[in-house]
Amino acid sequence: MIRLSNNIDLTHLASFATPAKADRLIEWDSAEELANYLRGEGGNFLRNGEQWAILGEGCNTLFTKDFRGTIIRCVAKGMETIEGSDNLHTLLRVAAGEVWDNVVEECCRRSLWGAENLSAIPSSVGSSAVQNIGAYGTEAKDIIERVEYLDLEDFELKCIDCKECQFGYRDSIFKHALAGKAIITAVVYRLSSTPAPKLDYGTLRPEVEKCGAELTPMVIREAVIRIRSSKLPDHKVIGNAGSFFKNPILPRTFVEELRKRYPAMPIYEVAGEPDKLKIATGWMIDHLGWKGKNIGRAGVHTQQALVLVNLGGATGDEVVTLAERICREVYEVFGVEISPEVNIL
């Protein structure tokens, strides 16, 4: 199925809920049909150099103005256990438009390990690979086996394995060499039947132990959901896109100097990069007194300084004005350049 619509209201297609319209929306649920459609006249907008973008659940996208072009959105759903699964591992192939948390719930229901720490992250399956979503010491890359995509240069359906995806912190090949050249059509995840709980992050272990139940993926999922809902705003109630900024990864020597000036600043080791350290942007924003503050209708969440929120009726520009002011102050005080995790259109 290919569904075309014109003059589309985007307000409720992105979690910040800022007002914007798009000239055109293409929704698709079959990779083969999409390939045929774009190969033909339907893909003229790609060849004519017109503006276009891909949208999943819109939970990492901020619209600041009307989008004068075409939005492509996958509405393909469904997951299947595929060949290659054995007693130790299950390979789950999931359509790009599936809601990520449905995948986690299904894995936990089947007592499959690996996805439970990523519970309740609002995402499509396609974006789980683009973003390499992460939480509680786990990243999507830890369970991604391969990614299937439509190549927009030759309109062939292709597949790359986890290594080729060049996953990094909220990063992948889909933001670099394949940016604007690929539409993810499905992701294959590898889940484990062998218990592999990861509890050493934040307050996860005490939250899990509190309920005294046998350790299962579902028990961990429920603990993650309880922690998340106690400190993160529900984007369906208050517009936001989760962490607005990334946590910068900086040279160890620079961070050691910062640590002398700010001993309370949270600092993390970076796996595989001994010369670098990661610092907490939320801590810096909080230290500057921004938590719970606002400029007009755009604000900083009262419990999590990394999350910018739409207090009601904010435009995308108002959110950007707030974000720029915070970036400036962080740079002036800490000498650190922070950059948005959110895709600003």
Ligand X SMILES: Cc1cc2nc3c(=O)[nH]c(=O)nc-3n(C[C@H](O)[C@H](O)[C@H](O)COP(=O)(O)OP(=O)(O)OC[C@H]3O[C@@H](n4cnc5c(N)ncnc54)[C@H](O)[C@@H]3O)c2cc1C
Q: Which residues contact 38 (CB under 8 A, 6 or more apart)?
A: 46, 150, 152, 155
Q: What angle do CA 341, 56, 170 make, to 5 degrees?
A: 30
Catalytic residue of the set 30, 145, 164, 170:
170
Using CB under 6 A as the criterion, what x/- string covers residues 49-88 for binding ligand X?
A: ----xxxxxxxxx------------x--------------
Q: Which is nearer to ligand X, 124 or 334 (CB)?
A: 124
- 282 is an interface residue for ligand X by CB under 6 A: no
HSE at residue 33, side-chain half, CA atoms within 13 A, is 11
**Residue in 56, 59, 58 with CA at minimum distance from that of residue 73:** 56
Which of residues 24, 93, 190, 235 is near ligand X by CB under 6 A? 235
CA–CA separation, 144 and 193 (whole Å) = 16
**Separate counts of helices (H) and strands (E) for the chain:** 9, 20
Residue 170: active-site member: yes
Which of residues 152, 241, 306, 314 is near ligand X by CB under 6 A? 241
**Residue list 165-184, contact with ligand X (CB under 6 A):** 174, 183-184
Which of residues 114, 126, 248, 316 is near ligand X by CB under 6 A? 126
Residue 139: active-site member: no
Which of residues 79, 92, 135, 319 is near ligand X by CB under 6 A? 135
- 131 is an interface residue for ligand X by CB under 6 A: yes
What is the number of other CB atoms lying within 10 angstroms of the CB of residue 171? 16
DSSP for 68-82, please give it: EEEEEEE----EEE-
- 130 is an interface residue for ligand X by CB under 6 A: yes
Q: Which residues bind ligand X (CB under 6 A)?
A: 15, 53-61, 74, 96, 121-124, 126-128, 130-131, 133-135, 174, 183-184, 232, 235, 240-242, 343
